[in-house]
Chain A
C-alpha cells in the first residue's frame, strides 16, 4: 500500500513525554487526596509502560500491580508480567478470574468468543476497582489512543479507569516510550495481543497493523485530513472506509451514557465543570 511519507507525524520526544506523564500521574492522584495507584498488568507493552511511569511518579511502594489470568492466558503473559514486577519491585497480587467467569458461562454455554472476551475484561475491571478500595489507590488506565479511536476495547472493561496516562499516545508511540523506559525486550518484541483467546493477536484480529493504522489515524485525527485527502495520498480505499467506520461506530464507548434532557440544566450537557473541580 502506497502512503504519503509522513514518518515524523508520529515522532515523540520520549524524554519530554515521560516528564509530562510522570507529573500527570502525581498531580491527578495527589489532588484527589490519594498517594497510591492500582493497575492491571498483562505483560504487554501498554500496561508495562504504565507500570514504569507509575513507579517513577509514585515510587514502587505506592503501586499495586494486579495480574488477573484466565485459564487460557499464555505462559508468556505470566512470564512477562513477572519480569516487570521483578524489575520494579512492586507489590503484586494475582487474582485468577477463571472460577467466576466459568461459573457465569455455565448458564450460557453457547456464548460467543466475543461475549467471553468482554466478560473477562469486565471481570478484571471489578477486581481492579475492588483492589483499588483495599489498597487505597486510584485505577490507572492502560488504553492507548489507537485502541480508543478504533473502539478496540471493552466498554466498562479494560477501557475503565480513573486516570489514563497513555490515552493520547498511539500504539506505536507507546512502544517508543516503552523502549525509552527500558521495558524488558521480550515485551517490546512480541506481537501486540489482548490474550483474549489462545493465539490471538491484535493485528490478525483487526486485519491491519498498528504501523499502518497509526499513520492513517494521525492524519485523520491530529492533522484533520478528510477522506479525499487520505485517498489522494494513496491509502487503500477499503482500509480508509473501514477505519473511518470503526472510529464513528465506536464513539459511544468514549462517551458517558446519553441522558434525555428535560430540565434547564442537565448533567454532562449544560452542567459543566472540570473533573478537577475545586482541586
Chain B
C-alpha cells in the first residue's frame, strides 16, 4: 500500500496510474505537564481520538511528549520500559493512524534514553534514541540521558521509508546525510525547542528551525515533519510553530506560534516523485566517496 516510491528510482507517473491517496499528517502541538505521565497520557489519548476522527494517517507528538522536558532528577521516576502498559495503551489507541511520540525509555543496563517511537496499525515499528544530547547553555541532557548509538530508517505501509530524529539530532548534518543514504521519503523530527532571541516577529530559533527543515527537505527530496511543543517550564517558553516541508523545500503547512493546536497537513505523494525527477540529488549521491573520505579522516584523526 506504499504510495511513495523509493529514492533509487524516479519513474514518471504514467497517465493511467491510479491517483494515489492524499495523506494527512496531524501535528499534535501540545503543552505536556512536567513529570505528570498520567495527565499527559490523557492528553495523548484525547489528541489521538481527534486525529483518528479527522482520518489522519499519522499523528505526531513533540519530543518527550509523555513526560515534559526539564525533568532533571525526575527522569528515573518517569522512565518506562519499551513494553510498558502506558506505552502499549497509546500505541493500541492509534490503530487506524500511525503515531510518533516521545518518552523516557529505561533500556537494558539501566540506561535511560530520550526516546521517540513510531507505531502503525497498533504495533510498535521503530524506536530512536536521541543521539545528540545538548549540554551547553540552558541544556543539560547528557547529565541525565545516555546517548543513542544508531541513526536508522525503517519502512512503513503508508509513508514508505521513514527516518525519526529528536530535536538536536536535526542540527547535525551527519544525521541528515545518513537519512539520505537510508533513502528516507519522510523525515520526522520531534522537538522541545525553547524560544531565545526576540528581535524579530518570531523567535530567532524558530527561524533557524524552519531554515533547517526546508533545506533538508529539499536536499533529501523528502517530506520533513517537525513538531515542537508549546507551554512553559521554569520560564522557558516552547514556541510551537510545528511544520511540514515538502520535497521542494516549500512549506506545506504550519501550526501557530506559542499556542497548542492539532494542525492537519495534507501531502500529495506524487510530489515526491515529481521533485525527484526535477532534482534527483539522492540518485546522484556518491555514497562510496563519502565513506572513503570519512574513513581517511577517521584514520588521520583517531589512528595516527
A276 near B232 with CB under 8 A, answer yes
A16 and B34 in contact, given A272-B72, A274-B70, A274-B72 (Cβ under 8 angstroms): no
Tell which of A12, A277, A279 has the most Cβ of chain B within 10 Å: A277
Cα A153 to Cα B35 with chains together (Å): 35
Closest Cβ–Cβ distance, residue A240 to chain B (whole Å)? 24
Closest Cβ–Cβ distance, residue B30 to chain A (whole Å)? 13
A274 near B34 with CB under 8 A, answer yes
Q: Does A90 contact B (CB under 8 A)?
A: no
Stretch with Cβ within 8 A of A (4 or more), from B109-117, B194-202, B273-281: B194-202
Chain B residues lying within 8 Å of A276, measured Cβ to Cβ, are 34, 70, 232-234
User: Chain B residue with minimal CB distance to A12?
Assistant: B198
User: Chain B residue with minimal CB distance to A163?
Assistant: B235
Cβ < 8 Å to A, chain B residues 90-108: none
Closest Cβ–Cβ distance, residue A7 to chain B (whole Å)? 11
Q: Does A246 contact B (CB under 8 A)?
A: no
Cα A274 to Cα B31 with chains together (Å): 16
**Which of B35, B198, B234, B257 meets A278, CB within 8 Å?**
B35
Q: Does B149 contact A (CB under 8 A)?
A: no
Cα A23 to Cα B195 with chains together (Å): 13
A278 and B33 in contact, given A20-B237, A273-B73 (Cβ under 8 angstroms): yes
Chain A residues lying within 8 Å of B231, measured Cβ to Cβ, are 27
Q: Does B26 contact A (CB under 8 A)?
A: no
Q: Does A19 contact B (CB under 8 A)?
A: yes
Chain A residues lying within 8 Å of B233, measured Cβ to Cβ, are 274, 276
Chain A interface size, as a band, is 20 to 34
Cα A17 to Cα B72 with chains together (Å): 27
Chain A residues lying within 8 Å of B64, measured Cβ to Cβ, are none
Cα A13 to Cα B197 with chains together (Å): 10
Q: Does A15 contact B (CB under 8 A)?
A: yes
Closest Cβ–Cβ distance, residue B200 to chain A (whole Å)? 6
A272 near B73 with CB under 8 A, answer yes
Cα A11 to Cα B257 with chains together (Å): 20
A277 and B201 in contact, given A20-B237, A20-B258, A28-B232 (Cβ under 8 angstroms): no
Q: Does A24 contact B (CB under 8 A)?
A: yes
Cα A15 to Cα B201 with chains together (Å): 7
**Which of A8, A23, A163 meets B199, CB within 8 Å?**
A8
Cα A168 to Cα B203 with chains together (Å): 15
Q: Does A108 contact B (CB under 8 A)?
A: no
Closest Cβ–Cβ distance, residue A63 to chain B (whole Å)? 19
Cβ < 8 Å to B, chain A residues 140-187: 163, 168
B218-248 CB mask vs A (1 if < 8 Å, else 0) is 0000000000000111110100000000000
Q: Does A275 contact B (CB under 8 A)?
A: yes
B73 near A27 with CB under 8 A, answer no
Q: Does B74 contact A (CB under 8 A)?
A: yes
Chain A residues lying within 8 Å of B203, measured Cβ to Cβ, are 16
Cα A225 to Cα B169 with chains together (Å): 28
Closest Cβ–Cβ distance, residue A44 to chain B (whole Å)? 22
A24 and B237 in contact, given A16-B198, A273-B72 (Cβ under 8 angstroms): yes
Closest Cβ–Cβ distance, residue A72 to chain B (whole Å)? 35
Cα A272 to Cα B36 with chains together (Å): 17
**Which of A11, A168, A279 meets B34, CB within 8 Å?**
A279
User: Chain B residue with minimal CB distance to A271?
Assistant: B73
Cα A241 to Cα B201 with chains together (Å): 35
Interface residues of A (CB under 8 A from B): 8, 11-13, 15-17, 19-20, 23-24, 27-28, 31, 163, 168, 271-279
Considering the complex of A and B, which 4 residue pairs feature the smallest CB-CB distances, nearest first? A272-B72, A27-B232, A274-B70, A11-B199
20 contacting pairs across A/B (C-beta < 8 A): A11-B199, A13-B201, A15-B201, A16-B198, A16-B200, A16-B202, A20-B237, A20-B258, A23-B237, A28-B232, A28-B235, A271-B73, A273-B72, A273-B73, A273-B74, A274-B34, A274-B71, A276-B70, A278-B35, A279-B33
Known: A168-B235, A276-B34, A276-B70. 5 other contacts (CB 8 A): A11-B199, A13-B201, A17-B198, A24-B232, A276-B234
Interface residues of B (CB under 8 A from A): 31, 33-36, 70-74, 195, 198-203, 231-235, 237, 257-258
